[in-house]
């Protein structure tokens, strides 16, 4: 499945608002999913991410912006407000941009604004969950948003023919499937034609060990945030799958 541009921008807007809400009053709290980071560090990280991609899209850059252009981290009392302003800029830039316009991305197989728009959903959603957890608050991810994020992760954050690891990652040596119990979406990863890569089938194939859970749970598991029961999935297969993943 794939969300529309409107749905992606709505998800980024909502997740950014929840992120800011959770961060206020908890800047000193530790972030479980990002060792050695406080919520203040997380706020600045996501602020930098939003600035980075908004700048690339707004200027149609064919390379990342120079390090010298990056804004300086503000004082702690201005961190959340700086994030809010930056998130609003990202949303406006993405809303006004031609989604087919070329720009630099880290995805070898997709160099356009549409990739940025889609990927910033999971970037913001996962960190909103991080902030909410650090603040002791609840955070719900819409099931369709989560399922699309899982689909995007498996296609773009796993070494593939279009975007292999350098140096080459050890092969998966088998197949592993994922099933979103709430949406019914399923995926099976198996070894790609190029060594150390994987290819994705949009279904759960018969006889393949399955990692299952609600779509939001699968997304958080992929990002190493929560455990899931994987009793029928050999630990070594999970380890080989993890080795093929990256989360830029």
Q: Specify the 3-state DSSP secondary structure of 96.
A: helix
Q: What does the pLDDT read at residue 244?
A: 94
List, in order, residues 6 or more apart from 115 with CB less than 8 Å away. 105, 107, 156
- Host H or E run for residue 58: helix 39-59
24-63 pLDDT tens trace: 999 999 999 898 999 999 999 999 999 999 999 999 999 9
pLDDT of 167 higher than 90: no
Least confident window among 3-7, 151-155, 167-171:
167-171
Dihedral sign, CA of 161, 162, 163, 168? positive
pLDDT of 161 higher than 90: no
102-150 pLDDT tens trace: 999 999 889 999 999 999 999 999 999 999 999 999 888 999 999 999 9
Does residue 224 contact residue 33 with C-beta atoms inside 8 Å?
yes
pLDDT of 85 higher than 90: yes
Count of helices and strands (H, E) across the chain: 7, 4
Q: What does the pLDDT read at residue 248?
A: 60
Cα-only R_g, the chain? 18
Q: Specify the 3-state DSSP secondary structure of 112.
A: strand
Least confident window among 76-85, 211-220, 228-237:
228-237
């Amino acid at each position: 499945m794939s969300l529309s541009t409107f749905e992606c921008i709505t998800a980024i807007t909502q997740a950014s608002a929840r992120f800011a809400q959770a961060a206020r009053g908890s800047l000193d709290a530790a972030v479980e999913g990002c060792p050695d980071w406080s919520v203040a560090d997380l706020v600045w990280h996501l602020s930098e991410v939003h600035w980075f991609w908004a700048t690339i899209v707004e200027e149609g850059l064919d390379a990342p912006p120079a390090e010298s252009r990056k804004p300086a981290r503000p004082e702690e009392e201005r961190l959340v407000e700086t994030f809010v302003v930056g998130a609003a800029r990202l949303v406006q830039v993405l809303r006004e941009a031609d989604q087919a316009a070329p720009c630099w991305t880290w995805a070898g197989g997709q160099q356009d604004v549409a990739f940025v728009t889609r990927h910033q959903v999971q970037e913001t959603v996962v960190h909103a969950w991080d902030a909410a957890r650090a603040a002791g608050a609840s955070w719900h991810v819409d099931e369709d948003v989560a399922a699309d994020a899982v689909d995007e992760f498996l296609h773009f954050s796993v070494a593939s023919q279009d975007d292999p690891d350098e140096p080459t990652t050890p092969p998966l040596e088998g197949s592993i499937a994922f099933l979103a119990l709430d949406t019914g979406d399923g995926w099976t990863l198996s070894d790609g034609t190029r060594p150390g890569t994987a290819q994705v089938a949009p279904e759960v194939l018969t006889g393949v060990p399955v990692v299952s859970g609600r779509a939001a749970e699968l997304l958080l598991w992929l990002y190493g945030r929560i455990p899931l029961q994987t009793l029928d999935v050999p630990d070594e297969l999970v380890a080989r799958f993890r080795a093929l993943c990256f989360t830029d």
